[in-house]
Structure 1
Amino acid sequence: MNMSCSEERERPRRSWAPVVHVNFGFVAGVVFVLLVYFVVQQQEAISALGVATTTVVSQWMSHKQLIKAPREIQPIKAPGEILVASDVHAIAGKQPTQDTVLASDVQPIVDKQPIHDSENGEVVCHTEGLSRGYSETCEVDGDVRTNGTALSVTLVPASRSVRREWMIMPYAKMEVVVRNVTVTQLQDRAAAPPCTVTHTMPAVLFAIGGYVGNYWHDYTDILVPLFVASRRYRGEVTFLISNIQHKPEWLVKYKTLLGALSKHAWVDMDGDTEVRCFPHVTVGLRLDKELSIVPELVPGAPLSMVDFTRFLRETYGLPRGAAVSLTREPDKKPRLLLIHRGHYRLFLNELEIAQAAEAAGFEAVVMELRGNASEVEQARLVNSFDVLLGMHGAGLTNALHLPPGGVLIQVVPYGNIEVIARSEFSEGATDMGLKYLDYSVSAEESSLMELLGPEHPAIKDPDSIHRSGWTNMFDLYLGKQNVRINTTRFAPTLAQALGHLRQQ
């Protein structure tokens, strides 16, 4: 563009009359392009932070590796498994590979639209979350038959209908690779496989895979959406679970919660040779909000995160249904739990932080919350505290077990990652009925200052690190960084937490 302008200025003078109509259009076009260029440049200068943050958040939505290091989380595909490309691949910008089979009659899914009349049953699919990286789900109602060997859900019409087929990924995050479920509306009953087991209750089909085993993902990707999908049935529901071989111990860890949602034995879909008949099957788990629930989108009747945390307290027998009230009990010290981390993103002055909390008016305890610990015991431990304080990471998910009215304080490492950190915990904690506070670490409090020096781009220009890609950003700010909290600077955050408990 600039070269064209330069060339135009260097041309010798000519008679204008013969070419005025041509040059006028050319000049007008150049002026327009220049105007657009300068406007764009101005917008980029104004919103540099927003662009950098948007870039890294976009990558974060694709990789979702905030807690584990990049190499710790790998897409899961069972040995010998054939993956089927669905609309998800197109939306995610993925190209079919040699081990991908394309379904020739896959149809686009229209949001919340039944594909045929109620006499024949209906399939209602939801795709609103695809633009945010969440997978689609389908509600299949009528004469529904499941086949574990084929991992299929088939709607059998009462009368002749139009054959349609969809591929649904039964995991809430679309970037995860698990075996897809084939959902089919048959053309007529003659093609239907005969039932070998008949159920009078509905079913929910979902996969264990992806990021399960990470505490935040356990709840965000599966347990909260499963509560939303199944609570309306009050235990009279069958769970059809695929990809169990990925992490069979997950079912042991959350056996108590799963048993509270379903009174019936779950079915290992990958090893199930039966053709099971159900009156209704939910395929996939719908996720509308990270570590939270959107009440108006819950099928049956509205549910909220307050309902979910109440369900946890009832299921685990947690004794405290309210945080300490300093209005009613002014002489009682609220209890604060400081989460110790053992590998990275460490507090380098835990004792000093605990002493600052004691000076502020709390009874402070420093403790590590292990992912392999008994879920019930850990929930009861956390429930005995009023405030949970920790570095950004999966351990903050334990806020689910705080009594209502408690406080979650998230320490955000240095590096302009507030948007990412808050998206995982801020709204979710608020929806649980907790007070959410965060504390952003300064460069002077970060170990990166000593490790890299004040002139390093990671210190001087965090946005440049964001623009360099997710892996580099993770490695520096979430993988290598430890913090030494300035307790004087941190004191107002502790005072805010105490002030909230005084207002209870």
Structure 2
Amino acid sequence: MRRGESKAATRGANRSSSSSSWKSRYIGYGLVLGFVLMLLYLMVNAQFSNNPNAYLGPATTSKTESIPATTYQGNQAWQEDGSRGLEEGHREEVASAHTERSTGQRQEKDDESEKQRTEKNSIEEQLGNDRSSNYWEEGRQSEKKDTIEFSEFGGGTDDFNNVANTKPICDTSFGKYDICVLDGDTRAQGGAGAGAAAVTLVSPRAAPREWKIKPYSRKYLDGLKPVTVRSVPNPEDAPPCTTRLNVPAMVIELGGLTGNYWHDFTDVLVPLFIGARRFGGEVQLLVVNLLPFWVDKYRRIFSQISRHDIVDLEKDDDRGVVRCYPHVVVGYGSRKEFTIDPSLDDTGGGYTMVNFTEFLRQSYSLPRDRPIKLGTNHGARPRMMILERTNSRKLMNLPEVAAAARAAGFEVTVAGGRPTSTYDEFAREVNSYDVMVGVHGAGLTNCVFLPTGAVLLQIVPYGRLESIAQTDFGEPARDMGLRYIEYDIAADESSLMDVFGKDHPMIKDPVAVHLSGWGNVAEWYLGKQDVRVNIERFRPFLTQALEHLQ
């Protein structure tokens, strides 16, 4: 018995020892885990102590907008050959700029990829009288809002002790154009060479920086003159003021493709309206590459944009003038071609293309806000303007088209050649029509003077050009409040059928022609094609135009 008791005691002691060992292990694990958690807590606490804005809410998602950007050589319906000399001067420049992937654009794309942005720019070049379209995609990462309140126009922060968090005065993230907003003591100094003209913000709030900005709506074009934009903390680091004007200023360039009728509006007048209209005329324009004859042509528009003298910024250097303002914007542009998308308007003006056409009617004192309304004007016939082209994309049976329109009930006028009236008078003439008809081309730009609710009928040449036609005029027309109709030319209505025959790829496979490169598209579909409208096929489109005026 004693021996058995001894064994039992031994087993009990072993069990007690084993239990004690497991308890020790659990206690050890708990201490280690507690130590690790304490370290993690201290690390996170230290991180947030150093950066109180490390997390301010859920991250914003990136928003990508497809921005069709169009660049071409075009002629007015009434001045189709007048700008050819200027176009020839730009042709090399445009050819370079409209390469499908230019060097500058590749660099911009590389830069954007670092910021999780993607830009796509399929740039197409017109080698004849007009140009085709570029297609841009702009992905812009939304900025996190922090606790700093920025001024209305940007350009700094009210936190004088936190220069590191100052808002940059220049936004160069968009592939098409740059914008700089200098809010405060800003000094503009002229200069004729590239980068010689300079705009300097004096502010202890802004970290010292410098940019080279091309103040034009298509910064990727060659031949533009950059302006130096800089911020400095001390007044002695900037040129002393020789004159002060207590209104904002805008620095713009009139180079690039200015002088081409479609680009006049797309590249200059529409972007200028977006950028300057909010100032209500109290803004001074400082212009690089000033073209006095061009400004004079659109003098009514410029007089509504600004009540102040336009400054030739390149000549200011000769006079030793340094102009000082409380607020300066350098650069301008529009996110979409020949139209305005208020959701993409960085100025906060909220303007639309309808506002722009109302502005034009005000500038030119145009009398008609609305077209004729059939049924209320007994015996009245709606007026139709048919635009005549004399180079490529001619209407080979224009008399038959006009006769069909008259038979449908329109009073028809064919507009072509050079005007005998001034541009102001021509704008009033266009405003008197209810319907505008024309083959795709720069002459359709005149639709800006039509009354809201009028009809634009675009005839699109053969060759899969529908997307270009939509970008250039279809979408803008709708944004203007016009009723838009599109008539697409069939292969048997194109003069190219006589040139190549139905089995040639130019006729049989336009997609393959596009894929082969822009040269063939520009040369043939836009540069060497005329159209003969099938009148029977065209009649329903005339009826549709009448129905829009009911």
TM-score range with shorter-chain normalisation? 0.7 to 0.9
Give the Cα–Cα distance (whole angstroms) in 2 for the partners of residues 128 and 349 of structure 1.
Answer: 48
Report if aligned partners of 1:110, 1:127 keep a CA contact under 8 Å in 2. no
Look up the match of 1:277. 324
With over 3 angstroms needed to count, the CA separation of the structure-2 counterparts of 1:291 and 1:371, relative to structure 1, is farther
Look up the match of 2:55. none
Letter in 1 for 2:215: P
Give the Cα–Cα distance (whole angstroms) in 2 for the partners of residues 143 and 414 of structure 1.
Answer: 56
* Residue 165 of structure 1, CA deviation: 1.5
Match of 1:254 among 298, 316, 324: 298
SS at match of 1:498: helix
1:147 matched to 2:189: yes
With over 3 angstroms needed to count, the CA separation of the structure-2 counterparts of 1:379 and 1:170, relative to structure 1, is same
Give the Cα–Cα distance (whole angstroms) in 2 for the partners of residues 154 and 208 of structure 1.
Answer: 21
Letter in 2 for 1:437: I
The within-5 A match list for 1:273-422 is 273=317, 274-296=321-343, 297=345, 299-368=347-416, 370=418, 374-422=422-470
With over 3 angstroms needed to count, the CA separation of the structure-2 counterparts of 1:326 and 1:160, relative to structure 1, is closer
SS at match of 2:217: coil
SS at match of 1:397: helix
1:167 matched to 2:184: no
The within-5 A match list for 1:167-186 is 167-177=212-222, 178-186=224-232
With over 3 angstroms needed to count, the CA separation of the structure-2 counterparts of 1:111 and 1:239, relative to structure 1, is farther
Match of 2:179 among 122, 137, 151: 137
Letter in 1 for 2:383: R
Look up the match of 2:501. 453
Match of 1:74 among 85, 91, 108: 91
1:268 matched to 2:285: no
Look up the match of 2:42. none
* Residue 401 of structure 1, CA deviation: 0.4
With over 3 angstroms needed to count, the CA separation of the structure-2 counterparts of 1:463 and 1:65, relative to structure 1, is farther
Report if aligned partners of 1:122, 1:140 keep a CA contact under 8 Å in 2. no
Look up the match of 2:283. 237
Letter in 2 for 1:209: G
The within-5 A match list for 1:86-165 is 90-91=107-108, 116-118=156-158, 123-127=168-172, 129-130=174-175, 134-149=176-191, 150-157=196-203, 159=204, 161-165=206-210
Give the Cα–Cα distance (whole angstroms) in 1 for the partners of residues 177 and 521 of structure 2.
Answer: 26
Report if aligned partners of 1:360, 1:494 keep a CA contact under 8 Å in 2. yes
Report if aligned partners of 2:74, 2:260 keep a CA contact under 8 Å in 1. no
Structure 1 residues 382-391 or 206-215, which shifts more? 206-215
TM norm structure 1 = 0.77
Letter in 2 for 1:279: P
* Residue 163 of structure 1, CA deviation: 1.1
With over 3 angstroms needed to count, the CA separation of the structure-2 counterparts of 1:300 and 1:92, relative to structure 1, is closer
Q: Which runs of 5+ in 2 are unaligned?
A: 1-65, 76-82, 95-102, 112-139, 144-149, 161-165
With over 3 angstroms needed to count, the CA separation of the structure-2 counterparts of 1:370 and 1:300, relative to structure 1, is farther
Report if aligned partners of 1:129, 1:287 keep a CA contact under 8 Å in 2. no
* Residue 122 of structure 1, CA deviation: 6.1
Structure 1 residues 492-501 or 111-120, which shifts more? 111-120
SS at match of 1:250: helix
With over 3 angstroms needed to count, the CA separation of the structure-2 counterparts of 1:442 and 1:62, relative to structure 1, is closer
Give the Cα–Cα distance (whole angstroms) in 2 for the partners of residues 88 and 200 of structure 1.
Answer: 38
Q: Deviations over 1:188-214 (max 9, x none)?
A: 333111011111010111101111111
With over 3 angstroms needed to count, the CA separation of the structure-2 counterparts of 1:172 and 1:307, relative to structure 1, is same
* Residue 175 of structure 1, CA deviation: 2.7
Give the Cα–Cα distance (whole angstroms) in 1 for the partners of residues 180 and 105 of structure 2.
Answer: 14
Give the Cα–Cα distance (whole angstroms) in 2 for the partners of residues 421 and 93 of structure 1.
Answer: 30
Aligned length: 418
Structure 1 residues 453-462 or 64-73, which shifts more? 64-73
SS at match of 2:487: strand
With over 3 angstroms needed to count, the CA separation of the structure-2 counterparts of 1:447 and 1:381, relative to structure 1, is same
Report if aligned partners of 2:389, 2:416 keep a CA contact under 8 Å in 1. yes
Q: CA RMSD in A?
A: 2.9
* Residue 364 of structure 1, CA deviation: 1.1
Look up the match of 2:72. 64
1:444 matched to 2:452: no
SS at match of 1:73: helix
Identity %: 42
* Residue 255 of structure 1, CA deviation: 1.3
Q: Which runs of 5+ in 1 are unaligned?
A: 1-56, 78-85, 95-108
